[in-house]
Structure 1
């Protein structure tokens, strides 16, 4: 089964760089069976690349204000995505991107990481960096993203 991690975020905005950091880690040390695409702050611009790969599963990873402690990671149900404030700097809401991907991808999941500081020029905080490193380790060890707690 072909699987894609689509990361979202801006590494110049503190914890909003969680997605790009995961893409960097997966590029340096790939997880078996996964292709990573860094969507940056405009993930809608790479949606066609994801769809061309014809994956069975896409996991979108981004910083998200889920009202938990910084670094908390949750799978976010579809009903919540459109209603919540997603902490990114991209132009279109993630709900539109996910709907577009679902036109051709059987399963699309959204994995959110609770940020602490999302301010231009600030470094990523330790709890978020540790969460991203843990996600990378989980993917490399074969853990399915579906194993994360749901919000």
Structure 2
């Protein structure tokens, strides 16, 4: 069976965007859990009026006002999540699987966070998960996760 690449799937998901908002979620003090903020930091130079980058760290709920104010057509959440795959694997998590994956260490479940945002907003939500290797106290990504993150950064730059 043909498996669509992450690049092709993301390109398809955002093909009709008018404003993209990237939300990086994670704890930079817990190694691979910091992959979301790492990606936001590395994409800082693509920020514009229609590409918004937010580093939410471990409190994405603190950014609901900013997200509403920006009124994006697409919200792309990037976070480490346990998907039972190899460390560094990057996947677009299907909507129906969103509740079934283990999402890192945040004060509010991202599933609940998305439901809350969707109550008053009309935008497409895309969740990009990156399989972590370790999520213990350390201030750097592990090599496989950094490679996966850098590949995703390259893909985003190519399709934006």
Q: Same fold by TM (over 0.5)?
A: yes
For residues 113-136 of structure 1, give each alpha carbon's deviation from its aligned partner in whole angstroms, at most 9, with x where no partner exists.
Answer: 000011012531111111111111
RMSD of aligned C-alpha atoms?
1.5
Give the match for residue 126 of structure 1.
Answer: 143
Q: For 1:92, what is the secondary structure of its paired residue?
A: coil
Whether the 8 Å CA contact 2:28–2:139 is kept in 1: the answer is no
Give 1:107 deviation, angstroms: 0.3
Could you tell me how far apart the structure 2 residues matched to 1:118 and 1:36 are?
Answer: 23
Give the match for residue 153 of structure 2.
Answer: 136
Higher helix share: 2
Match of 1:19 among 28, 36, 41: 36
Question: How does the TM-score come out when normalised to structure 1?
Answer: 0.87
Count residues in correspondence.
141
Note the 1:1-151 alignment, pairs <5 A: 1-27=18-44, 29-30=45-46, 33-87=50-104, 89-103=105-119, 104-121=121-138, 123-142=140-159
Could you tell me how far apart the structure 2 residues matched to 1:122 and 1:40 are?
Answer: 14
**Structure 1 unaligned runs (5+)?**
144-151
**Structure 2 unaligned runs (5+)?**
1-17
Question: How does the TM-score come out when normalised to structure 2?
Answer: 0.82
Whether the 8 Å CA contact 1:9–1:41 is kept in 2: the answer is yes
